[in-house]
Amino acid sequence: MDSQNIYVLGIESSCDDTAASVIYNGKILSNVIASQKIHEEYGGVVPELASRAHQQNIVPVVHNALKKAGITKEELNAIAFTRGPGLMGSLLVGTSFAKSLAYGLNIPLIDVNHMQGHILAHYIEEEGFEKPPFPFLAMTISGGHTQIVKVNHYFDMEVIGETIDDAVGEAFDKSGKILGLGYPAGPEIDKRAKLGNPKAFQFTKPKVDGLNFSFSGLKTGILYFVQRETKKNPKFVEENLNDICASIQYTIIVILVDKLKKASKDTGIKHIAIGGGVSANSGIRQALKDGEQKFGWTTYVPKFEYTTDNAAMIAIVGYLKYLEGYSTEQNVMASARLKI
């Protein structure tokens, strides 16, 4: 396949962000995201509200992405979209729109796995960012997913560890809810953790065999800890909030790093990449950098805007698939539990 002058439109609608991006020969020309603020008052994403907002946002978002890229829809060579995993109603909006647009323009339609997008975002042409060589280990950490993936090639991936209950993002959000913080709580915990003592309070780390994760026990332990301490002192959370946040974040980071250490030892792979919304956490990024000195790792962290849900990562996967001559049929269906 000729790799010259290829424009691919990427569409992402797996959860509560409607996004569209245009990629040109591996370089991002536009990356437009419409976030949905309505979920904040509910303390989490409401699927039906998310679907309705996607329907309202998708046309203006795609229009804006094409406009910022400086091209017309007729110049597109292919359309890539998130097929899954994600919220079914949200996925259906992006899938239906992508199928219709590709059909109308008579160009290839390319389905993308959202989790592969987080991993392959590292291959977007971006100055100052190294691309991990194969094979490498990828840790994808987000509100809905926590996985360690052995990446042998672009589309040869093996999940070697994953959460058996809550994702790491849920651990942050649920802990934040217990502490009375807003949604999403991850950024606020990260901010307060910088001001607190990470060893002020000890929380039990779940014992899970192999490379799998569990965060539901940690959440329950934090709940019981807060209930116990506030009985003694009703102002305990208010007076110790920064220390509590620092201790929670420290515990989560130790859980993640311990599993990465084991994965690296078991596979012999020292190239480590992270992706997903929680990879924006400053403590996790620092722990990964520390791993270069402690464990001899070479680490890869994507550009900040490519960590949370975005369409640039969908566009790069679409571009790489297009180069391999891949396209999908019009009868493709969204899949809420799509596996890598």
Residues of the binding site for substrate: 140-144, 173, 186, 190, 281
> Any idea of the CA torsion for 140, 141, 146, 147, to the nearest 10 degrees?
20
How many CA atoms, within 13 angstroms, populate the side-chain half-sphere of residue 148? 24
- Are the CB atoms for 160 and 149 separated by under 8 Å? yes
- Are the CB atoms for 51 and 89 separated by under 8 Å? yes
- Are the CB atoms for 90 and 54 separated by under 8 Å? yes
- Are the CB atoms for 207 and 185 separated by under 8 Å? no
3-state secondary structure 260-298: HHHHHHHHCCCEEEEECHHHHCHHHHHHHHHHHHHHCCE
Nearest-angstrom CA–CA distance, 123 and 121: 5
Annotated binding site: 114, 118, 140-144, 173, 186, 190, 281, 309
Strand, coil or helix: 214: coil
Nearest-angstrom CA–CA distance, 65 and 19: 9
Annotated binding site for Fe cation: 114, 118, 309
Place of tokens 């991006």: 21
- Category of 81 on φ-ψ map: left (φ > 0), alpha (ψ -120 to 50) or beta: beta
CB atoms within 10 A of CB 233: 11
